[in-house]
Amino acid sequence: MLTGSLRNNIDKLWEKFWTGGITNPLTVIEQISYLMFARLLDSQESTNERKAARTGKAFERHFPEDKVGQLLRWQNFKNMSGAKMRSHLRDRVFPHFANIHMGEGDIAEFMRDAEMEIKNEAVLISAIEMVDKLPLTDSDIKGDIYEYLLSKLTTAGINGQFRTPRHIIDLMVAMVDVQPEHTVCDPACGTAGFLARTMEYLNKTHSSEAGTFTDDEGNLHYSGDLLEPYRDHINKQMFWGFDFDTTMLRVSAMNMLLHGVSSPNVHYQDSLNKSFKDSWPVQEQNAFDIMLANPPFKGSLDASATNPELLKMVKTKKTELLFVAQILRMLKLGGRSATIVPDGVLFGSSKAHQQLRKTLIEANQLEAIVSLPSGVFKPYAGVSTAILFFTKGGCTENVWFYDLHADGRSLDDKRTALVSEEKFGPLPSAALSDEEQAKNNLPDCLQQWRAYQKTPPLPLGEGQGEGGLFSDRTQQAFLVPASEIAANKYDLSINRYKEVVYEEAQYDPPKEILKRMKALEKEIMREMDELEGML
């Protein structure tokens, strides 16, 4: 978590960008990312110089040792005047990014076409001063800094891209329970929110007591010190992301770098395109342990460019169906996924909808469906959605449903926090009261899911399971047997199976109501007569 002063500094800088003429939030984040990258390169160069001085071993430099090359370093240009600095960054520093090589999963690949968009010199100086003060050497805090910047993305992209709320991602990651030996992929990664939050989850669940500390404002920080045996795998092979928006890839690569992953496998690729299998760095099918996604729901696409293997699984042009099919293909046998889908996927009556749901239930293990309130994605969209949790292979016996009513924020366009920060998300750092639990169902959802995973309930066939765990369909969490779902054309909408308890209302006899109405009318007429007499 960030300190209040850091938040205030970022807010002030954001306001300067806005008043300086840069109103697109993605452009602001992109420009700040370039400056962060320049500073990180200088910091890495200084670290390598100190190491070389101790060991006597040469290293591959980011900057030439001559006078011109040294002027490309952050420490040597950060104090230039505004006009000189702007031309220096535009003509020398940013073009030099194309010459940088940082190893596998090279983040510099996405910085090569960097362009200076800051035309206001005062804004540039303020941006340089703020980035210079940021604690970018602290691996725990610098990820939070970038997350806070990304939280300011409040407009959807032209391709239907929008930022998935981080507390919803946290719920998905915790329910899947990602481990450091896994390989994790997001086929439509955007800003890499799923991958970055997975790294945050690993830090929280793999920090010793000595590696957990509290800052001056009482915020908990997790060092992830128990992840050291897996560090090489985490840096090079664990995280994979694909997107066909180069700006998003640039932001996602920086996001992962600031979350402590030095070489994330972030690639330019349309995951549904038929060229995917030919251009992919490793095998496309049966590749990952975990798939986390909120794929775009932009409607239809060109069938001629779609991977024919997907069309064999589900013959459709709808991206939300094709992405679920692709996720199934990319998972290893026994691999698990948490995927956000629009409600139409759950109850759509077309042949493609029913075929995909049948495949999930009969040829795989559809484990859970978490129904989300329709306001979760505001202000981007008010569409109703759900999270599908499934494992590749096997078959489904029961499906666990959870009806999420509240996520800790108001469900209007403002999305105002209803509980304090330490009581937010699926893993709050403080206990919730009953009233707070009603405003934030995420901890209860995770707790109920873990109870279900730990203690399998009784079978729910006909005449069985009465009184068993999750057999009461009037509760938020309940089970439905796969046989019942199949009998309903594989309909997965929660309202199909949830039972609503109706309370009998007591009304007075009609004659009594009529009598009161007549008395009221007489009272009105009497007062009107009094008013008339006063005129």
Asked if the structure places residue 161 within a domain, the reply is no
Residue 339 CA to residue 326 CA, distance in Å, equals 12
Residue 502 maps to a domain: no
End position of a domain, from candidates 99, 126, 150: 150
Question: 516 and 423 share a domain?
Answer: no
The token duo for 166 is: 């981080």
Q: How confident is the model at residue 162 (pLDDT cuts 50, 70, 90)?
A: low
Q: Evaluate whether 249 touches 268 at the Cβ level (below 8 Å).
A: yes
Element (H, E) at 5: helix 4-19
- If we measure between CA atoms, which residue out of 123, 104, 96, 92 comes closest to residue 41? 96
Strand, coil or helix: 353? helix
Least confident of 92-96, 134-138, 142-146, 497-501: 134-138
Read off the CATH number of the domain in which 75 is found: 1.20.1260
**Residue-level pLDDT at 139:** 61
Could you give the CA distance from residue 287 to residue 319 in angstroms, rounded to a whole number? 21
Q: Is 29 in the same domain as 57? A: yes
Whether residues 425 and 448 share a domain: the answer is: yes
- Measured distance CA(250)–CA(270) in Å, rounded: 16
Q: How many residues make up the chain in this entry?
A: 535
CATH no. for residue 301?
Answer: 3.40.50.150
Q: Which helix (H) or strand (E) holds 293?
A: strand 288-293
Packed helices 246-258 and 139-150: angle between N→C axes, nearest 10 degrees: 150
- Report the chain's mean pLDDT, rounded to a whole number: 87
Bond before 510 cis per omega within 30 degrees: no
Q: Give the ranges where 20-97 is alpha helix by DSSP (H).
A: 25-55, 67-70, 74-77, 82-88, 94-96
Same domain, yes or no: 137 and 263: no
Residues 358 and 471 in one domain: yes
In sequence order, the 6+-apart residues with CB closer than 8 A to the CB of 314 are 321, 322, 324, 325, 352, 355, 356, 359
Considering only residues 155 and 2, tell me which one the structure prediction assigns the higher pLDDT. 2
pLDDT digits (tens, 9 = 90+) for 438-481: 999 999 999 999 999 986 555 544 433 455 789 899 999 999 99
Please say whether the beta carbons of 402 and 371 come within 8 A: yes
Give residue for tokens 């602001």: 28
Please check the confidence at residue 356 and state whether its pLDDT lies above 80. yes
Same domain, 119 and 175: no
Q: Are residues 199 and 225 in the same domain?
A: yes
On whether both 137 and 35 belong to a single domain, the answer is: yes
In a domain, 30, yes or no: yes
Structural domain contains residue 99: yes
pLDDT tens digit string along 251-273? Answer: 888 888 888 888 889 888 888 88
| In-domain check, residue 501 | no
Give yes or no: residues 452 and 520 share one domain. Answer: no
Residue 370: which H helix or E strand, with range? strand 365-371
156-160, 280-284, 303-307, 481-485: segment of lowest average pLDDT: 156-160
In the chain, the number of structural domains is 3
Q: Is residue 424 part of a domain?
A: yes
- pLDDT of amino acid 439: 95
The values of phi and psi at residue 221, to 5°, are -130, 145
Q: Model's pTM, two decimal places?
A: 0.85
Residue where the block lists tokens 């230039």: 80
- Give percent of the chain above pLDDT 90: 46
Residue 155 has pLDDT above 90, yes or no: no
Asked if residue 477 and residue 421 are part of one domain, the reply reads yes
Print the domain residue range for 121.
4-150
Q: Which of the two residues, 21 and 352, has the higher pLDDT score?
A: 352
In this prediction, residue 174 has a pLDDT band, given cuts at 50, 70 and 90, of very high
Whether 90 is covered by a domain: the verdict is yes
Distance CA 21, CA 466 (A): 64
Give the range among 23-32, 215-224, 494-503 with minimum mean pLDDT: 215-224
Q: Judge if 254 and 211 occupy the same domain.
A: yes
132, two tokens: 């210079």
Answer yes or no: do 519 and 444 share one domain: no
Question: Looking at the domain assignment, is residue 219 inside a domain?
Answer: yes
